[in-house]
Homo-oligomer: A and B are copies of this chain.
Amino acid sequence: MLGLMQNWPLTVDRILDHAKTWHDDREVVSRSVEGPIVRTTYAQLHERAKRISNALLALGVRPGDRVATLAWNTGRHMEAWYGIMGIGAVCHTLNPRLFADQLCYIINHAEDRIIFVDLSFVPTLKEHRAQMPTVQQFVVMTDREHMAGVDLPGALCFEDLVEQHAPDATWGGFDENTACGLCYTSGTTGNPKGVLYSHRSNFLHTLVTLQTDVMGLSGRDVILPVVPMFHANAWGIAFSAPAVGAKLVMPGPKMDGASIHELLESEGVTFSAAVPTVWQMLLQHLRATNGKLTTLKRVVIGGSAVPEAIMRGFRDEYGVDVTHAWGMTETSPLGTQATPTHKIAALPYEEQLKFRLKQGRAPAGVELKLTDDEGARLPHDGTTFGRLKVRGPFIVREYFKGEGGDILDPEGFFDTGDVATIDEHGFMQITDRAKDVIKSGGEWISSIEIENIAVGHPKAELAAVIGVAHPKWDERPLLLVKLKPGETATREEFLAYLEGKIAKWWTPDDVVFVDEIPLGATGKIDKKVIRQRYQDYVLPGVKAAE
């Protein structure tokens, strides 16, 4: 027997409809790519997105067609998103930090028909135009004045489209499982693979993240998503902010400490979200300029593990609550968030820290399990390492065009490729990527755990740990350290710093000081490159291969 409640498909156009109806004059403020701060409202953004929808229909875009964006976080980018998604086309967010080869691969694989592009990235597209045969049209996200300087033959001007088309497009009316967004994983192994979000998955992700124990956004918040819309949906904020009527502040192309600080203060931002490197830059800027944070209350940090120094710095120096979150492109992206439970909240802050630095716990709607290599479930005891697998309505089922084959286990869980522990409070901690874990004498050593501690050394700017071949133990850890400018240090200094903080047998066999630690397109340490560089490294006490 079926229930008798209304059929109301969960399509994301309804989110912007809601914002327009109930929060019409709430602002969306952007640092534009052209330079000035630009102010709009949800009502205006809604109208302009409808005009973009009509422009796309006039250009022949049909439901299911892929329309890409190569753009910073701005109000125009949101207009493009909703304009594309509202008519059942698929918004493919391109990551401008990718190498041109990868970008072209992704554009071709997705068969993008149109690309909305910011002025910043026009040269890249022009240079590689010939390698994008499916692309019929470029839309430069600027006004007519700036269009004059654009060197991209045949490209359309965003503001022309807005002006030329009526705001009467019809949105929605299709199955909530209709594809809505497409985002490729950065692909540390093999080719990038596309995750095809549905309207339903994005809508449910929005509701789940809005819970008090997750992002807890309110209509009274002013939200600055530093995390890019091209990187796992800006953690859903382009949906969740309008869903509650929060003011949005978009950083555009400028994510340096000074620019972010300026926006935080001038716009009265209360909530922000970004990867650790951005917060590191902001902290450095604040300290250097004796800056203050007068309105910011909460920050969610994800994308890679939060160093303790950042969490403490924000709390102790600026009174800002930092919450650690974890997710990936395949999880829309929210998987877990380290919001204290009642038991953890009752602890002194010093004791809470241990838990707050973990990746956190799953909200209802995200299922987690740890398994061994054979798929058997492992205990939640806080020490047993296992493969982390996830299941839920906004977790990937298969990649676009079936790339990578069958990616679910027999229970329907997606293997994250991470190795993790889960403790008795339900707090998950990534101990490593499955492929980065160091297998020493049959036991696993977490490269990330050592890195996180090593980077806490006052002289360290970045640290990386990889496994290096060892004749007796198979692999042993090697620590690479990039020192802060002007610092010098010794191997012994770092080993002494680690002593007592990690198990003795985890102690790296050697420490190497480097000028640069390679980062991938999403700002994470690129272990693949490091492993290649050090594949022949000879650890102390080991005879060089002959």
Contact, CB under 8 Å: B397 / A7: yes
Instruction: Give 28 CB contacts A-B under 8 Å.
Output: A1-B63, A1-B179, A2-B178, A3-B177, A3-B197, A4-B195, A4-B196, A5-B197, A5-B393, A5-B397, A6-B391, A6-B392, A6-B393, A6-B394, A6-B395, A6-B396, A15-B364, A18-B362, A18-B364, A21-B367, A21-B426, A26-B342, A206-B364, A207-B207, A210-B210, A210-B212, A213-B218, A220-B341
A133, CB-defined interface residue at 8 Å: no
Q: Which residue of B lies closest to A414 (CB)?
A: B6
Among B6, B213, B394, contact of A244 (Cβ-Cβ < 8 Å): B213
Cβ of A200 < 8 Å from any Cβ of B? yes
Rounded to whole angstroms, the CA-CA distance of A75 and B138 in the bound complex is 60
19 additional contacts (CB under 8 A) given A4-B196, A18-B367: A3-B177, A3-B180, A5-B197, A5-B200, A5-B393, A6-B394, A6-B395, A6-B412, A7-B393, A8-B392, A15-B364, A18-B362, A18-B364, A22-B362, A212-B216, A218-B339, A219-B341, A220-B345, A247-B342
Among B64, B196, B199, B213, contact of A219 (Cβ-Cβ < 8 Å): B213
Cβ contacts A12-46/B at 8 Å (1 or 0 each): 00110010011100100000000000000000000
Q: Which of A15, A22, A199 has the most CB of B within 10 A?
A: A22
Verify if A340 is at the interface (C-beta below 8 Å from B).
yes
Select which of B1, B4, B14 is within 8 A of A398 by beta carbon.
B4
Residue A507 lies at the interface, judged by CB distance under 8 Å to chain B: no
- Asked if A444 CB lies within 8 Å of chain B CBs, one says no
A396 contacts B5, C-beta separation under 8 Å: yes
Distance between Cα atoms of A29 and B175 in the complex (Å)? 42
Bound together, the chains give a CA A394 to CA B5 distance in angstroms of: 6
- Quote the shortest CB–CB distance from A241 to chain B (angstroms): 11
Closest beta carbon of chain B to A247's beta carbon, Å: 7
Chain B residues with Cβ under 8 A from A426's Cβ?
A: 21-23
Contact with B along A332-352 (1 / 0, CB 8 A): 100000011110010000000
Whether A201 sits at the interface, judged by CB under 8 Å, is yes
Is residue A253 within 8 Å, beta carbon to beta carbon, of the partner chain? no
Question: Does chain B have a CB within 8 A of A204?
Answer: yes
- Check if A87 is an interface residue, CB within 8 A of chain B: no
Chain A positions 132 through 166: 1 when the CB is less than 8 Å from some CB of chain B, otherwise 0: 00000000000000000000000000000000000
In the complex, the chain B residue whose C-beta lies closest to that of A413 is: B6
| Contacting residues, chain B, for A180 (C-beta < 8 A) | 3
A398 to B3, CA, bound (A): 9
Per the bound structure, the CA–CA distance linking A64 and B213 in Å amounts to 34
With A10-B393, A207-B204, A207-B208 in contact, is A4–B400 under 8 Å at CB? yes
